């Protein structure tokens, strides 16, 4: 083999990789929080009395779940400016990630809501709680407990998928990798290291979320 | 400047979509074959085989597909292989699909009651025959819905191969967009084409899921 692996460039690259990783973590944090809040609203609306609302949310979920994230990203970043909506790359990335995340988590949260026994709702109503309080205090906490592992997986998947936003020049981990390999001509070594960083981040994120879930949700994750 | 009519845009996109379909089909077929191999390792009685399959699956599920494609595209030439975007795309998607499919099917195998294995042994079948005649048919029957669901995911994943230069739907749409400056129309149609490919499969997966619930 005439090729010797060279990791000599790594010393100077650590700070760039760290800042890229920080950007990736920032993106996933914002879109995960926004996505989960929106999907709770979405799942509740999908079970509401308004047929139009129900159908609109079902359509949105199907549209997002049946098209690639990359196309959604391009549509938002390149397509929307022709309607006069010009977005900063980071904003476009967060918007695309949140919209994508919400579609998947709406289904997950919905499954959780359906899994809560009907008697819980009826018991709470019988105690005189208002319907909104019944949802927030009784149904939602039980639903979240059931779906927490699925939410965790979805957040990790979204974090890995965020590698794609490098294509609209958001300076996250993959973008920094592209820049590094263009400068060092060590493409394989660069992507190898960045892949390891992603692997460590996905393992770390999963552990963190499970530990956090065990602490926050009463009685741990079921 | 050459004028592009709407029909020109749509026709070129549809022609490019053939490559998306072909790549999905080849990667799904390849992923099935390699995935079966990984499945056998994953449910093997030997610890090191199970461990290997577990790491393999963890590696592909824990890193971005884009990185896997980059590593193949830039890594294989170092080993002396001449590699085209098509080869890297097929190889990357096949390996990734194999990890996901093996994990789906493992769930199916584990859902088959242990008594089925025992019944197989008591009939005098050896391990491979038990798998082939008794366990795998049941495991595949249970996991039909998630397998179709994964096919949808795979079709969507082929979009990433545009980044390593494979001329499929998204890469063609970028080129058309650069010529027509109508990103809204172009990417809108691309989304529609993907939707037309994926939505029937999603529906089919839903039907399978409901059918499985009936039992």
pLDDT value at residue A206? 95
Lowest mean pLDDT among A38-42, A57-61, A128-132: A128-132
CA A198 to chain centre: 15
CATH number for the domain whose boundaries are A10-216: 1.10.3720.10
Find the residue in A nearest to B76 (Cα): A188
- The number of residues making up chain A comes to 222
* Two tokens, residue A20: 């890229």
Asked if A67 lies within 8 A of B198 by C-beta distance, the reply is yes
**Rounded distance, CA B103 to CA B98, Å?**
8
Pick from B80, B160, B191: which is nearest to A164 by CB?
Answer: B160
* Two tokens, residue A115: 């899994």
Task: With a cut of 50, list the residues of chain B below it in pLDDT.
Answer: none
ipTM field: 0.92
Asked if B64 lies within 8 A of A74 by C-beta distance, the reply is no
Whole-model pTM: value is 0.92
Residue A179: closest CA among A4, A8, A45, A171: A171
Asked if A71 lies within 8 A of B202 by C-beta distance, the reply is no
**Rounded distance, CA A184 to CA A190, Å?**
9
Chain B positions touching chain A (beta carbons under 8 Å): 59, 62-68, 70-71, 74-75, 78-80, 152, 156-160, 162-163, 170, 173-174, 177, 182-184, 186-188, 190-191, 194-195, 198-199, 202
Q: pLDDT-derived band of residue A222, with 50, 70 and 90 as boundaries?
A: low
pLDDT in tens, A155-192: 999 999 999 999 999 999 999 999 999 998 889 999 99
Pick from A62, A75, A191: which is nearest to B71 by CB?
Answer: A191
Please tell me if residue A100 touches chain B, with a CB cutoff of 8 Å. Answer: no
Number of other CB atoms surrounding residue B137 within 10 Å:
12
Mean pLDDT, rounded, for A91-101: 97
With residue A63 as reference, give the H or E element that holds it: helix A51-65
**Rounded distance, CA B168 to CA B25, Å?**
13
CATH number for the domain whose boundaries are B6-214: 1.10.3720.10
Q: What percent of chain A has pLDDT over 70?
A: 97
Residue A79: closest CA among B176, B14, B185: B185
Pick from B64, B152, B202: which is nearest to A160 by CB?
Answer: B64
Q: What percent of chain A has pLDDT over 90?
A: 84
The alpha carbon of residue A222 is apart from the nearest alpha carbon of chain B, in Å, by 19
Asked if A71 lies within 8 A of B191 by C-beta distance, the reply is yes
**Rounded distance, CA B189 to CA B173, Å?**
9
Report whether A123 contacts A60 (CB < 8 A): no
pLDDT in tens, A134-165: 999 999 999 999 999 999 999 999 999 999 99
Report whether A35 contacts A95 (CB < 8 A): no
pLDDT value at residue B83? 86
């Amino acid at each position: 083999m005439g090729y010797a692996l060279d990791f000599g460039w790594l010393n100077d690259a650590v700070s760039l990789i760290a800042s890229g990783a920080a950007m990736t973590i920032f993106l996933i944090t914002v879109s995960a929080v926004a996505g989960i809040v929106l999907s709770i609203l979405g799942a509740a609306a999908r079970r509401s009395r308004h047929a139009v609302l129900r159908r609109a949310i079902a359509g949105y979920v199907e549209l997002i779940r049946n098209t690639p994230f990359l196309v959604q990203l391009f549509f938002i970043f390149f397509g929307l400016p022709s309607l006069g909506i010009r977005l900063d790359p980071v904003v476009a990335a967060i918007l695309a990630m949140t919209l994508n995340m919400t579609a998947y988590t709406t289904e997950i949260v919905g499954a959780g809501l359906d899994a809560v026994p009907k008697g819980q709702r009826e018991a709470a109503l019988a105690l005189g709680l208002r319907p909104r309080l019944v949802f927030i205090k009784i149904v939602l906490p039980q639903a979240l407990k059931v779906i927490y592992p699925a939410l965790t997986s979805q957040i990790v998947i979204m974090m890995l998928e965020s590698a794609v936003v490098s294509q609209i020049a958001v300076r996250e981990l993959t973008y920094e990798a592209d820049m590094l390999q263009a400068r060092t001509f060590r493409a394989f070594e660069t992507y190898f290291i960045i892949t390891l960083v992603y692997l460590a981040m996905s393992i770390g994120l999963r552990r963190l979320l499970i530990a956090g879930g065990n602490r926050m949700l009463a009685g741990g994750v079921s | 400047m050459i004028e592009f009519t709407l029909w020109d845009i749509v026709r070129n996109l549809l022609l490019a979509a053939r490559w998306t379909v072909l790549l999905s089909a080849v990667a799904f077929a390849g992923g099935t074959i390699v995935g079966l191999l990984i499945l056998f390792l994953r449910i093997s009685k030997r610890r090191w085989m199970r461990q290997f399959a577990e790491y393999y699956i963890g590696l592909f599920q824990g890193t971005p597909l884009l990185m896997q494609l980059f590593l193949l595209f830039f890594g294989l030439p170092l080993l002396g292989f001449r590699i085209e975007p098509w080869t890297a795309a097929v190889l990357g998607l096949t390996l990734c699909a194999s990890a996901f499919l093996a994990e789906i099917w493992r769930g199916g195998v584990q859902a088959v009651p242990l008594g089925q294995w025992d019944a197989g042994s008591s009939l005098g079948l050896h391990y491979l025959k038990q798998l082939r005649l008794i366990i795998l048919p049941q495991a595949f029957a249970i996991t039909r819905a998630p397998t179709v669901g994964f096919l949808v995911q795979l079709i969507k994943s082929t979009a990433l191969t545009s980044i390593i230069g494979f001329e499929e739907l998204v890469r063609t749409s970028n080129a058309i967009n650069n010529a027509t400056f109508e990103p809204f129309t172009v990417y809108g149609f691309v989304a529609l084409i993907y939707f037309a490919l994926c939505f029937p499969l999603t529906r089919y997966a839903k039907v399978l899921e409901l059918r499985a619930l009936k039992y």
